[in-house]
Amino acid sequence: MKIRTLVASLMVIGAAAGANVALAADEPISPIQPPKSINIGMAELGKKLYFDPRLSNSGIMSCNSCHNLSMGGTDNIQTSVGDKWQQGPINSPTVLNSSLNVAQFWDGRAADLKAQAGGPIANPGEMAFSHTLAIGVLESIPQYVREFKNVFGKDKMDIDQVTLAIAEFEKTLVTPNSRFDQWLLGKKDALTADELAGYKLFKDSGCVACHNGEAVGGNSFQKMGVVEPYKTAATADGRAAVTGKDADRFNFKVPTLRNVEMTYPYFHDGAANTLTEAVDTMGRIQLGKKFTKDENAKVVAFLKTLTGDQPQFLMPILPPSSDKTPRPNPFGKK
């Protein structure tokens, strides 16, 4: 009897799960999956490197300075501040769910996270260091030497290992379990009537043509300003900088809308301060649609349901420098 009840209830669960899968599959957005096959040791090392400001010329700037994991993986300023308080040319995108991107950077010039991670360390406008200097610092810190050897099994460390480890850590930075994903998976009461109405507007107006899939974006390059040109003081050319084709001018990687409530300001030039403004601009220049105040509020309400569980981990404690570690150069006097 007991077994029968169990079988019956398992069948109910099975049927419900089947229905959920069907429901999710009909939607243009799919739930975020947990990361697959993470090398824990490598990710732990990558986490330290992600937070280590000794990979910068000033000794105060880490990946987390511009991609703050307490603030949705961004810096929440229009364009980033680099070494010696330089004004960056472009808005810092979130690192959350960046493993789902078709390529990295607004113009997609890095193929993947590993290829991306070497960039900022040596970029004079960002961390303003060099790969050789970075390896020199890491090699002078005995605990790092041991940890690199444990993870990679080699006697010598190199920049490839550094970028591999950072990329492995970044793969863990996915944000499943948003209220929207709960709804996709069958929890009918996860969204309010207004949020659902906002999702319907998002679909019916055509936003999903570009913002779809697991990351609600991140999977294609599209023109900024399809119906109306986008006016900006920023000079970025978009995808054309990579392909050299005029047709790609002002094509940018469609940003993910996951956690978009946290990743303000918006657009590659960081010109839109609020979601209300960003939704209004998108409607007008991408689709030729002017949302009413009420419609706009509903789309914004929907977008806020895309905030997922933020990465949870212990603060990494960084191994101390040794007497041999080159000292940082915060004021550019050397």
Catalytically active residues are 126
Tokens of 209: 């043509």
Across-strand partners of 68? 74
* Residue 259: CB minimum distance to ligand HEC, A: 9
Residues forming contacts to ligand HEC in the complex (CB under 6 A) are 61, 63, 65-67, 80, 82, 88, 90, 92-93, 95, 98, 101, 104-106, 113, 116-117, 120-121, 126-127, 166, 202, 205-207, 209-211, 222, 224, 226, 252, 254-255, 257, 260, 263, 266-268, 278-279, 282-283, 286-287, 299
Using CA atoms, how far apart are residues 319 and 99, in angstroms rounded to an integer? 27
Using CA atoms, how far apart are residues 68 and 59, in angstroms rounded to an integer? 17
Nearest CA to 278 out of 302, 251, 305, 296 is that of 296
Half-sphere exposure of 193 (CA within 13 A, CB side): 0
* Residue 107: CB minimum distance to ligand HEC, A: 6
The smaller minimum CB distance to ligand HEC, of residues 23 and 122, is found at 122
Listed in sequence order, the residues at least 6 apart from 191 whose beta carbon sits closer than 8 Å to its beta carbon are: 179, 180, 183, 199, 302, 305
Half-sphere exposure of 28 (CA within 13 A, CB side): 15
The smaller minimum CB distance to ligand HEC, of residues 80 and 305, is found at 80
* Residue 226: CB minimum distance to ligand HEC, A: 5
Nearest CA to 31 out of 218, 211, 215, 307 is that of 215
Q: For residue 268, what are the CA distances in angstroms to 203, 230, 248?
A: 23, 11, 15
